[in-house]
């Protein structure tokens, strides 16, 4: 296999490992222009709008983006459609709601720390106080579960999860499924992302608060912040402006199978909008939800994972947040403390590599050079000669030739006719593959929605 690069930009931490990933937009627009935006320079809302508009026009992505600075929303935009019904596409708008997958874990962690701040819970309390029948429950702490260091097996992995993902499960039924898989390692000895941890933390919140997770969420977060578009989801209700997710394959968008969100509770049951998500993030980092000491604990990393938070860097700029995936919904929620910049991006369907979308948004936010794709199409065919050659990594070999019809890449007897997107960047829309060349490095990156494979050019 070619070298697989886990793209550092925001990581690949998603809700469901069964999708093959580990836990790393009708055009309705609302732009808020501001003269006081400054990351050194004014936020280029025109370029942000242009970038997302191109993706929408090319049907490369659909979903919604919100950006705030100093706690004030500066940019909102929705592209694509929320629902397709018998060929009729209902455009998305900034109030369209998306399933946010593992970003739910941030909300769960905040509620746990609220209970800690109130003296109703401690980080060192043991799991056996609530679920004594689970493996190693007497040695697993709340802290371990927040850090994904419990050793509890992820109920979405190595089970028949796909057979019952659309059916409700009681707390007892899901706890039994978790318990039957045993322990993957001794508590506290290492970190391994497991949705089971946050499902159980959600159950603990319910027991301590004597309320359902949905009720606790409303009482402790959404009512306080007036987040009217954030709640625990049920069956998708398109009449309430909830979006359906779609998967792109063979030039066609198809509706993705729907998950019963009652299964996922504190691990991935929340529905929201980018605007609400940004408001939540700003409130968290401005001390409106938990104490400074609790926030510091959330931000403390062990083995690359915090307690309901993850850290990352864009260049030298540090950030805190979380990504999410459920079905074909993807979400990203990140805060840049030096700039006091918050960004939330949700999508219910994507073709253009998600990491490239986020990277483009950040380059525009930070006033870095960025060429909007599909806007530079006057490059002569002779310029493609520098890409010609054979690229390989392990058993995979790709031959690149410059034909009259354009650049063609061939591997394992299959040829991919490409369309140029930008300088050094090509795509084959039918397959959903994107090809980025680095002539100076003699490299070819083959990109899918989330995966990046790196191949070297033969000398």
pLDDT in tens, 199-237: 999 999 999 999 999 999 999 999 999 999 999 999 999
pLDDT of residue 459: 80
Q: Which pTM does this prediction carry?
A: 0.89
More confident residue, 421 or 1: 421
Taking the C-alpha atoms of residue 261 and residue 266, their distance in angstroms, rounded to an integer, is 10
Distances in whole angstroms, Cα of residue 44 to Cα of each of 47, 50, 85, 248: 6, 10, 35, 30
**pLDDT(6) > 60:** no
CB 98 within 8 A of CB 270: no
> Any idea where the domains of the chain sit in the sequence?
1-375, 381-457
107-165 tens-digit pLDDT: 999 999 999 999 999 999 999 999 999 999 999 999 999 999 999 999 999 889 999 99
Query: How, if at all, do strands 88-91 and 81-85 pair?
Result: antiparallel
235-246 tens-digit pLDDT: 999 999 999 999
383-428 tens-digit pLDDT: 889 999 999 999 889 999 999 889 999 998 899 999 999 889 999 9
Which residue matches tokens 């009512």?
223
- Kindly indicate the confidence band of residue 249, based on its pLDDT and cuts at 50, 70 and 90: confident
- Kindly indicate the confidence band of residue 30, based on its pLDDT and cuts at 50, 70 and 90: very low
* Backbone torsions φ then ψ of 415, nearest 5 degrees: -105, 140
**pLDDT(36) > 80:** no
Most confident of 4-8, 18-22, 253-257, 382-386: 253-257
State mean pLDDT over 44-59. Answer: 95
- Kindly indicate the confidence band of residue 382, based on its pLDDT and cuts at 50, 70 and 90: low
More confident residue, 313 or 22: 313
428-441 tens-digit pLDDT: 998 889 999 999 99
97-107 tens-digit pLDDT: 999 999 999 99
Cβ count within 10 A of residue 367 = 14
**pLDDT(185) > 60:** yes
More confident residue, 347 or 448: 347
End-to-end, the C-alpha distance of the chain in Å comes to 20
pLDDT of residue 366: 95
Distances in whole angstroms, Cα of residue 280 to Cα of each of 4, 234, 273: 34, 21, 11
**pLDDT(41) > 80:** no
pLDDT of residue 396: 87
**pLDDT(26) > 70:** no
- Kindly indicate the confidence band of residue 379, based on its pLDDT and cuts at 50, 70 and 90: low
CB 9 within 8 A of CB 359: yes
pLDDT of residue 3: 43
* Backbone torsions φ then ψ of 372, nearest 5 degrees: -65, 130
What DSSP letter does each residue of 98-167 carry, written as one string?
A: EE-GGGHHHHHHHHHHHHHHTTS--TT-BGGGT-TTSTTTTT-BHHHHHTT-S-BPPTTSSSSHHHHTTS
pLDDT of residue 25: 30
Mean pLDDT of the chain: 89
Name, in order, each residue with C-beta under 8 angstroms of 268's C-beta and a sequence gap of 6 or more.
Answer: 15, 16, 99, 100, 101, 102, 104, 105, 195, 198, 261, 324, 326
State mean pLDDT over 43-52. Answer: 95
**pLDDT(17) > 50:** no
pLDDT of residue 68: 97
pLDDT of residue 16: 33
Percentage of the chain with pLDDT > 90? 79
- CATH superfamily of this structure's domain 1-375: DD-peptidase/beta-lactamase superfamily (3.40.710.10)
CATH value of 381-457 in 2.40.128, 3.20.20, 2.60.40, 3.10.620: 2.40.128
């Amino acid at each position: 296999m070619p070298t697989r690069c886990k793209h550092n930009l925001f990581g690949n931490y998603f809700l469901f490992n069964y999708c093959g990933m580990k836990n790393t937009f009708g055009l309705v627009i609302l732009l808020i222009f501001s003269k006081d935006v400054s990351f050194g320079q004014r936020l280029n809302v025109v370029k942000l709008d242009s970038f997302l508009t191109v993706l929408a026009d090319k049907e490369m992505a659909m979903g919604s983006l919100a950006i705030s600075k100093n706690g004030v929303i500066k940019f909102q935009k929705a592209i694509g459609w929320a629902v397709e019904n018998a060929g009729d596409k209902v455009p998305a708008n900034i109030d369209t709601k998306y399933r946010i997958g593992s970003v739910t874990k941030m909300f769960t962690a905040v509620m746990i720390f609220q209970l800690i701040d109130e003296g109703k819970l401690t980080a060192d309390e043991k799991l056996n106080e609530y679920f004594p029948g689970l493996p190693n429950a007497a040695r697993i702490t709340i802290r371990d579960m927040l850090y994904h260091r419990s050793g509890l097996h992820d109920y979405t992995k190595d089970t028949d999860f796909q057979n019952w993902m659309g059916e409700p499960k009681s707390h007892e039924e899901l706890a039994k499924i978790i318990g039957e898989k045993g322990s993957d390692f001794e508590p506290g000895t290492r970190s391994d992302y497991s949705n089971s941890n946050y499902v159980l933390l959600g159950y603990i919140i319910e027991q301590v608060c004597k309320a359902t997770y949905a009720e606790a969420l409303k009482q402790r977060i959404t009512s306080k912040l007036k987040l009217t578009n954030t709640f625990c989801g049920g069956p998708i209700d398109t009449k309430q402006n909830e979006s359906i997710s779609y998967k792109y394959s063979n030039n066609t968008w198809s509706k993705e199978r729907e998950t019963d969100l009652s299964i996922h509770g504190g691990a991935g049951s929340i529905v929201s909008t980018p605007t609400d998500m940004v408001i939540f993030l700003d409130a968290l980092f401005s001390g409106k939800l938990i104490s400074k000491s609790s926030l510091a604990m959330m931000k403390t990393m062990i083995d690359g994972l915090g307690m309901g938070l993850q850290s990352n860097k864009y260049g030298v700029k540090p950030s805190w947040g979380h990504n999410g995936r459920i079905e074909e919904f993807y979400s990203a929620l990140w805060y840049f403390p030096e700039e006091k910049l918050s960004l939330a991006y949700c999508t219910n369907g994507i073709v253009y590599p998600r990491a490239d979308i986020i990277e483009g948004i950040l380059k525009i936010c930070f006033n870095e050079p960025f060429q909007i794709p599909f806007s530079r199409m006057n490059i002569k065919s002779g310029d493609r000669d520098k890409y010609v050659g054979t690229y390989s990594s392990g058993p995979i070999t790709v031959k690149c030739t410059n034909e009259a019809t354009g650049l063609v890449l061939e591997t394992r007897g299959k040829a991919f006719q490409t369309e140029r997107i930008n300088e050094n960047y090509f795509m084959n829309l039918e397959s959903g593959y994107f090809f980025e060349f680095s002539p100076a490095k003699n490299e070819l990156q083959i990109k899918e929605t989330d995966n990046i494979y790196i191949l070297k050019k033969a000398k």
